[in-house]
């Protein structure tokens, strides 16, 4: 046949439409192994597993796995709140838009020397800052200067600038 086919669940604009999946071992809500629902009031689609994992799969590859409060990208069993496992050397995570924000590159060289690169991806404002106890302690600016100390935002002509409060 031709045309669109599917299942439509109509609910009031403040209601929730749900498809429940049962393991066949009994009746009632306790038998549901998982569900897909849409909450109209919050415009929220919810995938739920009573136990186990929620998986987004693309062509047989688990692209995203949620399990036990952890989210995994590129792996079956995440062990952290966000666990990313890339299969190639290179960019593993980007926070911000393409070419902006922070890029995190991870890799394994052929001689087993691991590498991690933090990349401030804006060519004209590429500054990495490090804070301790909410106060900036180290800055690497887009000119390659390393600024360290009590006021690391004050640049000088030196490649390494250390400023202490006199103590």
| Per-residue pLDDT tens digits for 71-119 | 888 888 888 888 887 656 666 666 666 666 677 766 665 556 666 777 7
| pLDDT given at position 45 | 84
d(CA 47, CA 25): 21
Predicted TM-score (pTM) of the model is 0.53
- Percent of the chain residues topping a pLDDT of 90: 0
Residue 139 near residue 153, CB atoms below 8 Å: yes
d(CA 138, CA 140): 7
| pLDDT given at position 4 | 65
* DSSP, res 31: G
H or E segment to which residue 10 belongs: none
DSSP-assigned beta bridge partners for residue 160: 146
| Per-residue pLDDT tens digits for 40-70 | 888 888 888 887 788 877 777 777 788 888 8
Band (167; pLDDT cuts 50, 70, 90): very low
């Amino acid at each position: 046949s031709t045309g669109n086919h599917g299942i439509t669940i109509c609910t009031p604009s403040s209601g929730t439409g749900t498809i429940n999946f049962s393991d066949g071992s009994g009746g009632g809500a306790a038998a549901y192994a998982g569900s897909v629902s849409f909450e109209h009031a919050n415009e929220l689609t919810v995938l739920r597993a009573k136990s186990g994992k929620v998986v987004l799969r693309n062509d047989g590859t688990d692209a995203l796995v949620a399990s036990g409060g952890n989210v995994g990208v590129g792996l079956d069993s995440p062990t952290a709140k966000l666990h990313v496992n890339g299969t190639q050397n290179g960019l593993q995570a980007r926070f911000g838009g393409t070419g902006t924000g922070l890029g995190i590159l991870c890799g394994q060289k052929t001689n087993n020397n691991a590498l991690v690169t933090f990349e401030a991806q804006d060519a004209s404002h590429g500054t990495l800052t490090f804070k301790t106890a909410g106060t900036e302690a180290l800055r690497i600016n887009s000119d390659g200067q390393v600024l360290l100390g009590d006021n690391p935002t004050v640049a000088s002509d030196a490649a390494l600038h250390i400023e202490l409060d006199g103590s």
